[in-house]
Amino acid sequence: MDRLNEMDRLMGTLTVEEIHQAAERIRPFAHRTPVFTCKSLNERTQADIYLKAENLQKVGAFKFRGACNAVLSLLPEEAECGVATHSSGNHAQALALAARLRGIPAYIVMPRTAPQVKVAGVAGYGGQITFCEPTLEARETTLEDVVQRTGATIVHPYNDLRVIAGQGTAALELMEQVPDLDVVMTPVGGGGLLSGTAIAVSALSPRTRIIAAEPEGADDAYRSLLAGRILPSVYPQTIADGLLTSLGTLTFPIIQELVEQIVTVSEDAILSAMRFTWERTKLIIEPSAAVPLAVFWEAKVDLIGLRIGVILSGGNVSLDQLPWQIDRPTLS
């Protein structure tokens, strides 16, 4: 089987039916998050914006949906040995909590340079942490060691069909909560949220356009779509720290097939959109969640007058120093 057929097979493997099944599976554990509207946001964007508040999801991010679906999808004999990942972000906390809810161990490999607050978060959800050197190679070999020792199942943060199906459940809910959307927007990092969203939306509302947003300083997904192949993220620089990763072999073909376009946005636009959202909606969103809203601050796409669902990916941000208080390097 050549590579393209393999992709087709994998894409064919994930249908909206499996997203429905994921929704059933995670229902007892995940929040059905509310959708908010905000008059001044609508005035500012000249559109009807529906904010799907995944910042109010468990662990403060949509990541809990995918991790939870992956953990609950394991066969009992697999589950027994636990799950493992390397991550210092929201996925690590999400996987730790999902594993605890099923009563199985979660082995999390973290760089020893990970912020104390993230380490405490994972530990607080009962994750068993193994520290390693802060390189990708060290993370991967350490994870291999952990898996060898424990027999745990690796749950990748986005390049995993169970994870993608779980992330797609946010869009399922959004479409139930707000019918007849013209557009659904998400940020794109590794593409788990975007590909799950794209499958759900295109299946249930074919006329709805799917538009993703990405920081200019981490525009690998934008460039990958142009090139027709996965280009890695090289030295990404953005305050949207959830979007530093590259697309995966599972997420790329889905995005290529179903997403209308990826719009890149500047750091200034991300900051402005984030601050406006904090001030006007009183919702704490992380920089990555502001990335789709930043599209409206730059007007690169004409979305005037449309009904637009925006998935606010998360709300985990350090409150010691806010992003607009930090001196940023200028992107060249």
The residues of the shown chain that bind a second copy, judged by CB under 8 A, are: 34, 36, 53, 55-56, 60, 275, 278-279, 281-285, 315, 319, 321-322, 324-325
54: helix, coil or strand?
helix
How many CB atoms within 10 Å of residue 17? 10
| Residue 176 CB partners (closer than 8 Å, separation 6+) | none
Asked if 306 and 182 touch (Cβ cutoff 8 Å), the reply is yes
Closer Cβ to a second copy, 223 or 275, answer by number: 275
Q: How far apart are CA 230 and CA 190, in angstroms?
A: 11
**H-helix or E-strand containing 310?**
strand 307-312
Closer Cβ to a second copy, 14 or 53, answer by number: 53
Largest CA distance in the chain: 56
Closer Cβ to a second copy, 81 or 283, answer by number: 283
CB of 128 to a second copy, least distance (A): 21
Choose the catalytic residue: 63, 87, 233, 313.
Answer: 63
In terms of residues, how long is the chain? Answer: 332
CB of 160 to a second copy, least distance (A): 26
Closer Cβ to a second copy, 248 or 314, answer by number: 314
CB of 207 to a second copy, least distance (A): 30
Choose the catalytic residue: 52, 73, 87, 88.
Answer: 88
| Residue 147 CB partners (closer than 8 Å, separation 6+) | 84, 107, 154
Q: Is 88 a catalytic site residue?
A: yes
- Alpha carbon 329 to its chain's center: 25
Task: Report the catalytic residues.
Answer: 63, 88
